[in-house]
Structure 1
Amino acid sequence: MKKINVLFAILIASLSFGQAPSGYYSSATGTGYTLKTQLYNIIKNHTDRGYSGLWTTYSTSDRDHQNENDNTIFDLYSEIQNGKDPYNFTYGTNQCGTYSVEGNCYNREHMIPQSVFNSSAPMVSDAHHIPPTDGKVNGIRSNYPHGNVATASTTTKNGSKLGTSAVSGYSGTVFEPADAFKGDIARMYFYFATRYENTVASYTYDMFNKTSNQVFTTPFLNMLLAWHAQDPVSAREIERNNAIYARQGNRNPFIDNPSYVNAIWGGTSSGGSTGGGSSTGTKSDLYFSEYVEGSSNNKALEIKNETGASISLSSYSIKKQTNGSGSWSSGLALTGSLANNGKFVIVNSSISSTCYTKTNANISTSSTELTFNGNDAVGLFKNGVLIDIIGTFNGGTSNFAADVTLRRKSTATAPKSTYSSTDWNTYSVDSCSDLGNRTAQEVNNTSQIEILAYPNPNKGTFTLSFSEKNETYLIQIYSLLGQKVFEKNVTSENEIQINNLTQGIYHVTVSNQSNNKTLRIIVE
């Protein structure tokens, strides 16, 4: 889950995700499905608190201690990234009950529907895959698989969608959560596939392939891997994992160690980065970094790799939807590999030499994917699953980017399967000189303050530095369980010293009337 308050890059030398007891994963030494079985043996036999016990678990596992930090129920189906939630639920007071519209009450959402396992214990009450969600949206999702939506029939107040499937090979109805929570949900699925390895092969579900090892059909597996990569583990997930461990006695290993996902099922690793624009491995997968929709045949795309490792392009392709309707094109396959920090340029073979020298491109082609206009959505696909997009699929004939060049802002921290114009800077027609050459980081929006906390990790003493001077900021520091351990008003660069802090991850909230930012520090 991406945080609503942007987590700035703060000179993190290393990042410890969860807080599992020492030695908890000491027997998880294998790879592939051997590792999956080892994890199953670690997390099986948890304490079943019963279906009604979920309400008690939610008192500690699903409270908002990071975003609005108002202690309300944290609901994946109503929370809005970078904006005000449409409604909030008070723990206990707003528990369902009956509902008729969004915002009436919260209930218990089984990510893997109860009907799949016949409401059997302990699956029916395992909090690791059953978060609290809005009752109405829970009902809208019903028993449909989670997936990427092609055409939405229903859109909820936080942008979750029900509609026809865009998952390759599946033509049914799917429910797509907001981008900010896709990783959270993917890791719940991976948990279920591992915790119930001994029974999952007997379950009938459109996302499952009736095996105990891969568990998922290949198209749905590729989608979950993409969601896991696009939306890295957040502080909220870590807090939730710790709280459920305190109640059930087992953990979600894919929150504690996100790399387990790829060690078992393959795919690109989900990072733990908190900032964008760096060249040291801050992006979770390849992404579109530039788009040229110029005059005549001046069409070009740039793809960038900031994952921290070289990536084979054999699984990637570019597809286009024409005039905002219809199906994706058959696709332009990418070839070769892309080094970390490298850029891959694809141009229309008739591009003007005054715009770009086509012999410098990685691919020069006349294929339909490079004949896009300003109302044609263009998608980057991995193993047939959409991971990044320019424009809106089924967005209609209106232009979203005609006769312009778009360059991705450094604040965009991952590829996104939903287009937002706010992720891009816009330049005049035929601005081509930057293709393949950009090395300097773009500057963040000047309305946002830049904050650094260093050193990190530290022993409880660190310095806060602000880009805006002569401002008064309220500094509050919280543990992952929401306990406030420090509060102070400061007006300039300050050394913060807190004695007797236990080792772990803490959140530093910096706020005034116009800004509200959160940093993550590690105390060793």
Structure 2
Amino acid sequence: MKKLLLSFILISSYYSGQAPAGYYDGTTGLTGYALKSKLHDIISAKNINWNYSDLTNYYNQTDLDKYYDHDATNTTLLLDMYSEIPTAADAYEYTTANIIGSANAEGLGWNREHMMPQSTFYSNYPMYSDLFFVVPTDARINQLRSNYPYGIVGSTIYYTFTNSSRIGNSAIPGSTYTGRVYEPINEFKGDIARSLLYFAVRYEGKLGTFNFNNNVNPASDTNPLDGTEERSFDPAYIAMLLQWHNMDPVSQKEIDRNNAVYNLQKNRNPFIDNPTWINAIWGQTPDSAAPQSATNLTVTQNSAYFTTLSWTPSSSTDVIGYKIYQNGTLVASTKGNSISIDHLTPSTTYNFTVKTYDSGYLLSSDSNTASITTLASDIYAKDIMVTKYLEGSSNNKALEITNKTGHTVNLSDYRLSIQFPSGSNYYFPDPYELEGVIQNNETAVILNPNANFSCFTINQAKFVTAAPQMTFTGSNYLELRYKNTTVDAIGVSSTSNSSVLANVSLYRKANINQPTTTFNVNEWDSYASDYCQNLGTLSASDVVLAKNNQLKIYPNPVHDNIFVNGKVENVKNTQISDLSGKLFYSEKNPFKNKNGISVQNLPAGIYLLQLDGEVYKFIKK
């Protein structure tokens, strides 16, 4: 039967009833790339990332064909967009049992198709198993599609498949790419466009590290990503996706799938919930005038391994970010007007400049130059480090990463790698990439989604993944890497560590304040399997107390309410813990409508108040 199409008006009102209450808070009034970044923050905040092997069974929840040849009673047959014939009986159909590796003809079996090819993100997690763009498709068509982009086929056609989808040379209007593309049938063009645009939102902040524009000749570059975090795709490709989105509105199948994936991953495709957001983000027309430069670039903090820069924002109205150059080389970008540049070398001179860029990706001239010579040494850790390793019963696997570097750390270039045995050899499977930021004096817990610890829940973890890195058995070597460089290590590579790492909880000793690439068990305290006291919190001996004068707390000692003086409206996260690390209070944007925190229910004692990573000690009477 024909796919049920719902109008944009119905969908726009429908999404609020499908997404949890408050899920899209903060999006009102936003347009353009500011809206895209806000949606990224929302859908990336709390995900459950499953193992690639888990997807096969999950397709019985997300991808059953209840819309065409079948109805709601179908509990076995998969919906395959590459072979589905919407107006007639399909030439072949599959259950999850029909999964195969490859095929030399249509109809022999199915396998998992990455709508954004694996080569884009090097097959790394969490992208590798994201249900929103990894779907079941016919194995032969999947194989022939290879890593070709979706597109519009021109006059040269190489393959036409049973439902009339086809592979041929590209005829995408305005595109320089002339290689092969896969063109789906009209029924699913909107579905595919919304999936790719989800990818652009979900992985904003990482898109520039992905594989794009690797070919000298743009005509043969199969990847439509353009290296930008905001626009994400080549302009001609964006225009095609918008056309597909508008011609093929959201269907009931997409709404149902969005809800089913949310039940599994705990995030949503915002463009199924609210289709108008696509045109609100990518329908803008940038101007042709380069933005004004940032001014007053200054160094606000200097240390041995990092420096913090700030500047007066550009006066232009269409600014979307700033690019930071270190000795003339681009090293970072930010939407704000301050940033910490890390991985510097002690006792070394650096020159920094900033360029403004706008929605048309036009660059301003350079700001003034800020020069620094890093300190010979400091009190901070030179990088983030693993501070807890929990290898418990069944799937009770957890890691805690701590930032004691003295500054906020961007996690986009960090990843976890694990080593598995293969006969008499060892290999590293696909890494798990971290994302977001970790504040100074903050911990981030990475948890297996099937863990069942008595003192820590899935909702408390910053990262939840069943990637190979969180399936360690106690005999595996684990690494925390920055780009391709090992930062911290647990265990010894190419050996069995079962006597040290099996069925234990390892806690880094309080006097160890630097990561190391050579594992030393003497740096760790060992506890029994499943022990997890104070996981995700720092004790007094772990933190560096605030040394800046930007915020002041009073009174101290305190009876009922502790107040903070300064720019409290900028504080995003606060916690109160005792000296053992036990957490008593946590709140986001705590000073939105007040300038104090009630502590009247706290027992008398000494506590730590953490404000965006800066820690203040106070006494409760």
Calculate the TM-score normalised by the size of structure 1.
0.48
Higher RCO structure, 1 or 2 (CA under 8 Å, sep 6+) = 1
Larger Rg: 2
Structure with the largest fraction of strand:
2
